[in-house]
Amino acid sequence: LTLAVVLPQHNLTYPWAWPRVGPAVRLAAAAVNSRRDLLPGFTLGWVFGNSEDRHGVCSEMAAPLVAVDLWLAHHPAAFLGPGCVYSAAPVARFTSHWQLPLVTAGAEAHGFDDKSEEFGLTPRAGPSHRKLGELGVQLHRRFNWTRRALLVYWDERVDDRPHYFAAEGLYVQLPTLSNLTVMDVVFRHGGNFSFIIQEIKAKGR
């Protein structure tokens, strides 16, 4: 019985990088195999594929190619990872087509909440940005913030865009409050901060 692991191989800026997760995978496999009552007649093994590109960042191109290679070569029973949003999405579409589960600690974006179709077999073991949005709704109710919400976030449009997807959870959930206007201001490295302050001043009141 094979588990296919698709994670960043070296980049420790990701909490799900292989040097962090690998020891747990090895320990888990050893623990399962030491208990013959858990998977009688089977031995659990794993194969690894790197989801990084040549620059060491999560790749929406490398991850699905690696996943297809592992599926064709090893016929895994399940996938572990990827964690990055842009890497996890295409791999999850493949694993859904293959009717295999993809377990991830990442994939926090709001789109992964839809379990009716392509992400129906993608359980997440980590937090989701929808929960952040629900927290924002509860805070607005608690403090009676009922007119306007302004989301200000950093977005370089590179790598996995964590601030964009975090803001998305709030952007989608806050409009569930009646008559609340939700607006956003994006800033980037080298941006015009005077303009941003004026935008906050104009849109935040």
Residues 6+ apart with CB under 8 A from 121: 92, 95, 96, 99, 100, 101, 102
The pLDDT score that the predictor gives to residue 53 is: 93
Question: Which domain, by its residues, includes 145?
Answer: 129-204
Please indicate, yes or no, whether residues 97 and 137 belong to a single structural domain of this protein: no
Show the tokens assigned to 63: 């991850």
Number of domains in the chain: 2
The pLDDT score that the predictor gives to residue 6 is: 98
Query: Domain for residue 70, yes or no?
Result: yes
Query: Domain for residue 14, yes or no?
Result: yes
**What's the pTM value of the predicted model, to 2 decimals?**
0.82
Query: Domain for residue 30, yes or no?
Result: yes
Mean pLDDT for 154-177 is 80
At 44, which CATH number?
Answer: 3.40.50.2300
Please indicate, yes or no, whether residues 30 and 106 belong to a single structural domain of this protein: yes
Please indicate, yes or no, whether residues 14 and 107 belong to a single structural domain of this protein: yes
Confirm if 16 and 61 have CB atoms less than 8 A apart.
Answer: no
Q: How far is CA 148 from CA 30, 116, 145, 152, 185, in A?
A: 53, 32, 7, 13, 13
The string of pLDDT tens digits covering residues 118-138 is 899 999 988 888 888 889 899
